[in-house]
Amino acid sequence: MHAMVLRQHGLPLEWTELPDRPPAQGEVRVSVLACGVCRTDLHVIDNELPDIRLPRILGHEIVGRIDAIGVGVEGLEIGERVGIPWLGHTCGTCAYCRMKRENLCDRPLFTGYTRDGGYATAAIADARFAFPLGETGEDVALAPLLCAGLIGWRSLVMAGDGKSLGLYGFGAAAHIIAQVARWQGRDVFAFTRPGDVDTQRFATSLGAVWAGGSDQMPPERLDAAIIFAASGDLVPLALQAVRKGGRVVCAGIHMSDIPSFAYRLLWEERELLSVANLTRQDGIDFLRLAPEAGIVTRTTRYPLRQANQALADLRGGRFDGAAVLVP
């Protein structure tokens, strides 16, 4: 197999030939068809997450076909197309797993972070966390659903049922969840980098009723806001934008420090929440809903060997929607 491998933080990934590894008990091996490029991959490269062990193969939005099955795996077949998400393994025994809150597991493994991921021609996965995808939809179009879609969906559920929803940072996750929110009958307000009129036009093309810079206030108070951008500076702005009793959900695994802000922004029972990972039930619910909601992902394709260019373009905001690597 071949892979783009991170060997040292802050340096480009290296094209590497590696021996094929058979799946262990409870695992499957997939031939990778597509793998999305996520901002979390940049956090791994930049050493912004704890306990990163190198070398590591990044990538946690994997679409592939099973080509080998380990002992004890049931319900999956050779040749079946599956999706492999960010949460790659849970212990099943800690208090959180027993409470059906496996997203908070004490001993988890994460695809492309604490176990190797999909920037490769093949990947190994815990069979319990390989979601059957069926044969509807293109591989590249499905890949962003495996993290941007799933984390966005969990964030949307946590935001509540309010009519007006603000999305701060209109990238891969927001462009998917904006479509779900519009399908649900909500009004979407999109916040982009100040002056980014191209992304604002993209947001309105997906049904946003208003789009502006993150330094602006929306034309009306919001019921809830989701922050997808990794900037803690947005938290006070989002709290200021929501109504009394409104919610602000921080959707990223990493965010810069939140600055000090006046208590009055939180007062009147506004809530500030964070999202951590996903559960398998999130995956089942969202992947069942996605075709019904008519989600269309905007993707930019890159050959696997151009992973460094895809990451640079993501960092620079040089495309709308999501980047996807194709071996």
The answer to the question of residue 284 being in a domain is no
C-alpha distances out from residue 80 to 29, 130, 324, Å: 11, 10, 21
Measured in residues, the chain has a length of: 327
Return the CATH number at 21: 3.90.180.10
Output the six-digit token pair for 62.
């994997």
Q: What is the pLDDT of residues 154-197, one digit of tens each?
A: 999 999 999 999 999 999 999 999 999 999 999 999 999 999 99
Could you tell me if residue 167 is inside a domain? yes
Whether residue 303 is found in the same domain as residue 195: no
Q: Which residue has the tokens 């996520």?
A: 38
What mean pLDDT comes out for the span 271-292? 96
Residue 25 pLDDT: 98
Cβ neighbour number for residue 73 with a 10 Å cutoff: 19
For residues 259 and 185, membership in a common domain is answered with yes
- What distance in Å separates the CA atoms of residue 200 and residue 192, rounded to the nearest whole number? 7
Q: Which domain holds residue 211?
A: 149-274
Regarding whether 45 and 16 lie in a shared domain, the answer is yes
| SS3 of residue 96 by DSSP | helix
Is 235 within the bounds of a domain? yes
The CATH number of the domain where 188 resides is what?
3.40.50.720
CA pair distance 178, 156, nearest whole angstrom = 10
Q: Give the pLDDT confidence score for residue 247 in this predicted structure.
A: 98
Within this chain, do residues 56 and 29 fall inside the same structural domain, yes or no?
yes
**229 shares a domain with 174:** yes
Q: What are the DSSP calls for 273-314, one per residue?
A: EE-----HHHHHHHHHHHHHHT----EEEEEGGGHHHHHHHH
Domain membership of residue 12 (yes or no) is: yes
Query: What is residue 41's predicted lDDT score, i.e. its pLDDT?
Result: 97
Looking at the fold, whether 178 and 266 belong to one and the same domain comes out as yes
In a domain, 291, yes or no: no
The count of domains in the chain is: 2
Over residues 230-254, the pLDDT tens digits come to 999 999 999 999 999 999 999 999 9
Whether residue 209 sits in one domain with residue 122: no
Please enumerate, as own/partner, the contacts of 97-106 that have beta carbons within 8 Å and a separation of 24 or more. Answer: 100/279, 100/281, 101/279, 102/279, 102/280, 103/154, 103/276, 103/277, 103/278, 103/279, 103/282, 104/276, 104/277
Residues 114-157: tens digit of each pLDDT: 999 999 999 999 999 999 999 999 999 999 999 999 999 999 99
